[in-house]
Structures are given as structure tokens and as C-alpha cells.
Chain A
Amino acid sequence: GQQLNQSPQSMFIQEGEDVSMNCTSSSIFNTWLWYKQDPGEGPVLLIALYKAGELTSNGRLTAQFGITRKDSFLNISASIPSDVGIYFCAGHTGTASKLTFGTGTRLQVTL
């Protein structure tokens, strides 16, 4: 099946720092999604990207759909303690049943 390589696997940062993580694929996707999973909970959708080159923001979060349609990145500016969690990228080619998830980036924020 399709594989999404997500990096880094984990990050330890200080409060106030900016964070950048990315996702790459060997296959083309029509949609890129970014989810966040808080400890003990299910993933929650943060940002959805539908067009190559699209840059979308959601508060302190910014994500981009790569021009080649094989990659995406997520930036978090001025991190705060509640940003702690696992961030997943996901891509699909048009149907939810074909959604492929990355392996996740675990973010830890220290005061």
C-alpha cells in the first residue's frame, strides 16, 4: 500500500519556539490532512488541504500542500504547552476509505 514518511518522529521544544514537521509520499495525493491526537483521545482534524500549492492557516498553525502533490508540511508558531500531542498527516486520492496516515510526530513542549 501507499506509505507516508513523517518527520521528525519526535520533537522536544521550549514554549514559544516555532515547530515544523513534514510528510512525504512516493505517491500523489489529492487531499492532505493534518490531525492532532491528545493523550488518551482520538485524532482531531486541524487542517485540510485540497489543491497543490495551497497554503492554509488555522490560528498558529500553517500547512501547505506541496506542488508535486507528494508532500505537505505543518508549522506551529509560538508553541504553548497545550500543543503537546501526536500530529499525524494523512492523504487520500478521493475517498475516505483510501486514507493513508503517516506514523506521527510526537511533540513535547517544555516550559
Chain B
Amino acid sequence: DAGITQSPRYKITETGRQVTLMCHQTWSHSYMFWYRQDLGHGLRLIYYSAAADITDKGEVPDGYVVSRSKTENFPLTLESATRSQTSVYFCASTQWEGYNSPLHFGNGTRLTVT
């Protein structure tokens, strides 16, 4: 099925461990984004990418690393997970960055750090 898929849907990890969240889109969209969703904060941008090998920080990038070696994949890595990174993570994509290009979201990964 075409679209944007995230894996895993649920993940429990321990403090200090490295964990990678995967995002894959089949639309060949240029732009991809990672958001985290927390109660009382809405959605906050972690990192985004304008194209393969081009990434930039968003509002809350600390503790996260991204890469984009292929247009369709945009993995998010927590190098040493902390409890404050317990959250629901959403990946999104869009064809261009203009005002009339809406974001398409994946179904999210719920991450719990114990």
C-alpha cells in the first residue's frame, strides 16, 4: 500500500539504550519530518529533511540523530534514551515546502523509556 509507514508501532526501551525509529514513504516526497507529541505540547518538530543527505534541526533536536541516505527513508535515532523522550513520535512528508503543500503523517510510534 502506498503511503507513509512507521515502525515499530510500540517500543519499550531502557534508559541509556540506543533506539531507532523507522519511517518509509512511497510517494517520493522531497521533504520529511519527525515530530513528537506530548500532552500539553501538541506536536513539536524534532528534525526535518529537504532531500537525501540534507537534514536540519527543528524545535527540539537535542538527544536525537537523523539521517537520510535515500529519499524514501528517514530514520530517527535516540543515541542514549532518557525518560523525557517517552512520547509518541510521528513522521510526516510533503512534496514541497510551500504554503499549499500539506503534511501527510504516519500512524506514529509510541516509545516508552523505562
The chain A residues found within 8 Å of chain B, CB to CB, are 1, 4, 6, 30-31, 33, 40-45, 48, 50, 88, 90, 92, 94-97, 99, 101-104
Contact = CB atoms under 8 A, between A and B. Distances in A.
Interface of B: 31, 33, 35, 40-45, 48, 56, 58-59, 90, 92, 94, 97-103, 105-108
A33 B108 CA distance: 20
Contacts of A97: 31, 33, 45, 48, 56, 58, 97
Nearest to A88: B42
Nearest to A43: B105
Given A30-B99, A97-B48, A99-B103, A41 B108 contact: yes
Nearest to A29: B99
A101 B43 contact: yes
A45 B43 contact: no
Contacts of B42: 4, 6, 88, 101-104
Nearest to A97: B48
B41 A103 contact: yes
A94 B98 contact: yes
Given A88-B43, A96-B94, A97-B33, A41 B99 contact: no
A31 B103 CA distance: 13
25 contacts: A4-B42, A30-B99, A31-B100, A33-B102, A41-B108, A42-B105, A42-B107, A42-B108, A43-B90, A43-B105, A44-B105, A45-B102, A50-B99, A88-B43, A96-B31, A96-B33, A97-B31, A97-B33, A97-B56, A97-B58, A101-B35, A101-B44, A103-B41, A103-B42, A104-B42
